[in-house]
Amino acid sequence: MCGRYVLKASTFEMQKHFHLDEVPQWTARYNIAPMQAAPIIQSIAPRKLLVAQWGLLPHWTKDVKIAHQLINARSETISAKAAFRDLLSSHRCIVPADGFYEWHREGKQRLPHFIHRGDSALLSMAGLWSRWRSPDGLDVETFTIITAAANDDMKELHERMPIFFTDEQRTLWLSDTRDEAAVKELLKAPLAKQLTLTAVSTHVNSVQVDDERCLEPPATVQLRLL
């Protein structure tokens, strides 16, 4: 799964990497959590960066609490879930990220790791978006991150991970095609290799924390008795 991630890239870096024409100002974030706002790129406007809420609200829902359950969408069951099945043809998006966090349990401890590319390049996470209208008539853009079974790099930490696209895959995902078979094939492609797993400080464990210290090395070395 993906329950916390990092986007510390500058506005200029995102504009250059994703070939964007329209980019809002963005302040580096080191611990983005569900229900918070973060940038996405929609397939209906592939050269524009838009800030949306992480946690999908289907246009038909009357219960905003459902967003907490829809921060991730399993690639294998997208077509079967009411919240997602109508979005694949025309409501695709990319979620830019520098990397994401996952935790490894050792006893009662939750030890965080930062998963990122070894060359520190930006990642393109696959997502779906929806526009929800509040009771007072306000339109709210929301999104979910699509996950798949973890690859060999990630299995030691968690059984699920986000789907990352290459530049070529991202172009098709953000195109105006409504060929669901073609876009579904993208979700079956081999997941990104050469990911780097870096142990980081438990400072990141709290969703109230959002600063550079989240990416610092652990304060103490964890020793195991043999």
Q: Could you say which DSSP state residue 144 is in?
A: E
Least Cα distance to 202 among 101, 120, 54, 100 occurs for 101
101 in helix, strand or coil?
strand
The residue from 13, 76, 102, 180 that is catalytic is 102
* Cα–Cα distance, 189 to 101 (Å, whole number): 22
Residue 64: C-alpha distances to residues 61, 140, 160 (Å): 7, 11, 25
The dihedral sign for the CA sequence 43, 40, 114, 206:
negative
Write down how long the chain is: 226
The residue from 2, 106, 156, 180 that is catalytic is 2
Assess whether 102 carries a catalytic annotation. Answer: yes
CB 119 within 8 A of CB 47: no
Strand segments (E) across 98-122: 99-106, 109-117
Q: Residue 60: what are its φ and ψ, rounded to 5°?
A: -90, -10
The dihedral sign for the CA sequence 121, 34, 184, 92:
negative
* Cα–Cα distance, 191 to 163 (Å, whole number): 6
Assess whether 22 carries a catalytic annotation. Answer: no
Write out the catalytic residue numbers. Answer: 2, 102
